[in-house]
């Protein structure tokens, strides 16, 4: 009986026209969406999920979500790692991620490994509040990096005249192939910055006696007043304006390597 009901639900889900998922589409565009909807239905997406994606104009991104998506619930991660569910929820909050429901498979294998590492760091003696601060900083940085990465992928791989099916298949393949390849890049950048931090650091007698680092830190500060920047913001695309900010960031990085302190009073 249950198998028959499941079959009926699947048959109903495949009636895309009756569900209003093909409205306003004709010819090649309609055929491409039909093929994509069939693929998504085979992947297990429900009719409600497909309808929401169509309404939000993000049908072509569902396969990418599936590639990047999780496979474990919070309870399963807690059981596998020994890290309490309450800590896992707090970590996600600090990272700027939504709190998953009890049945949501929101955790990928990489996040399971991260939870094990988090538990190891706690056992090694790093306090929970210290790790919370590190996690918050990491979440802010990763959010910006993820947004920049997504924009870069779209710029590089979206082609004029693409159908929804073209975008879905190409970007899902890219996510499978390139996202894992980016992991070593992130680790290498972190380790390089950590080495540089250690190279610039100092632990002298005062720090050894107090058991803490001094509160003073050498900084390079650059204030820039760009003439016409506000007017420029109304004349160019946001991404072009962002390239100006990127150039300023590069200049700031160059200044950080220089003993010269450049200050312009606003």
Share of the chain above pLDDT 70, in %: 77
Out of 165, 200, 235, a domain closes at 200
Determine contact, residues 99/93, Cβ cutoff 8 Å.
Answer: yes
Does one domain contain both 244 and 151? no
Does one domain contain both 145 and 188? yes
- Give the residue-averaged pLDDT of 87-112: 92
Helix 128-157, helix 109-124: angle, nearest 10: 150
pLDDT of residue 248: 67
- Whole-angstrom distance, CA of residue 146 vs CA of residue 136: 15
Examine the pLDDT at 207 and tell me if it is beyond 60: yes
Q: How do residues 49-58 score in pLDDT, each as one tens digit?
A: 999 999 999 9
Tokens of 20: 């209003």
The answer to whether position 209 is within a domain reads no
Does one domain contain both 86 and 139? yes
Does one domain contain both 157 and 193? yes
Share of the chain above pLDDT 90, in %: 55
- Give the residue-averaged pLDDT of 250-265: 54
- Give the residue-averaged pLDDT of 75-92: 94
Q: Where are the alpha helices (DSSP H) in the chain?
A: 2-13, 27-42, 47-55, 62-68, 74-81, 85-95, 109-124, 128-157, 164-200, 205-210, 229-233, 238-256
Determine contact, residues 41/10, Cβ cutoff 8 Å.
Answer: yes
Does one domain contain both 191 and 132? yes
pLDDT of residue 4: 40
pLDDT of residue 119: 93
Does one domain contain both 25 and 102? no
DSSP 99: P
Out of 167, 200, 233, a domain closes at 200
In terms of pLDDT, which residue wins out, 2 or 117? 117
- Mean pLDDT estimate for the chain: 83
The answer to whether position 64 is within a domain reads no
- Give the residue-averaged pLDDT of 19-32: 94
Nearest 10 degrees: Cα torsion 124, 126, 127, 128: -90
Residue 262 confidence class, pLDDT cut points 50, 70, 90: very low
Domain that holds residue 110: 74-200
pLDDT of residue 211: 76
Does one domain contain both 38 and 108? no
The answer to whether position 105 is within a domain reads yes
Examine the pLDDT at 226 and tell me if it is beyond 80: no
Examine the pLDDT at 240 and tell me if it is beyond 80: no
What is the pTM for the complete model shown?
Answer: 0.70
pLDDT of residue 199: 85
- Whole-angstrom distance, CA of residue 129 vs CA of residue 135: 10
Determine contact, residues 139/94, Cβ cutoff 8 Å.
Answer: yes
pLDDT of residue 221: 63
Q: How do residues 136-148 score in pLDDT, each as one tens digit?
A: 999 999 999 999 8
Examine the pLDDT at 256 and tell me if it is beyond 80: no
Total structural domains within the chain? 3
Examine the pLDDT at 2 and tell me if it is beyond 50: no
105: left (phi over 0), alpha (psi -120 to 50) or beta: beta
**Helix (H, G, I), strand (E, B), or coil: what is residue 69?**
coil
Examine the pLDDT at 10 and tell me if it is beyond 50: no
């Amino acid at each position: 009986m249950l198998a028959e009901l499941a079959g009926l639900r699947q048959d109903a889900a495949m009636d895309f026209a009756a569900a209003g998922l093909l409205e306003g589409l004709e010819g090649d565009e309609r055929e491409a969406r039909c093929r994509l909807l069939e693929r998504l239905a085979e992947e297990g997406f429900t009719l409600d999920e497909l309808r929401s994606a169509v309404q939000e104009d993000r049908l072509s991104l569902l396969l990418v979500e599936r590639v990047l998506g999780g496979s474990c619930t919070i309870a399963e991660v807690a059981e596998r790692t020994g890290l309490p569910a309450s800590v896992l929820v707090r970590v996600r909050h600090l990272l700027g991620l939504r709190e998953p429901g009890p049945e949501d498979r929101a955790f990928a294998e990489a996040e399971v490994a991260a939870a094990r590492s988090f538990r190891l760091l706690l056992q090694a003696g790093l306090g929970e509040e210290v790790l919370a601060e590190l996690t918050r900083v990491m979440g802010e940085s990763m959010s910006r990096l993820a947004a920049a990465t997504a924009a870069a992928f779209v710029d590089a791989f979206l082609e004029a005249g693409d159908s929804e099916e073209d975008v879905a298949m190409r970007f899902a393949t890219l996510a499978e192939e390139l996202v894992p390849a980016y992991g070593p890049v992130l680790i290498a950048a972190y380790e390089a910055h950590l080495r540089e931090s250690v190279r610039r650091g100092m632990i002298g007698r005062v720090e050894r006696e107090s058991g803490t680092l001094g509160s003073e830190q050498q900084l390079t500060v650059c204030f820039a007043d760009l003439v016409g920047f506000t007017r420029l913001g109304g004349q160019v695309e946001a991404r072009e304006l962002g390239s100006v900010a990127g150039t300023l960031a590069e200049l700031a990085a160059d200044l950080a390597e220089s003993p010269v302190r450049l200050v312009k009073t606003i």
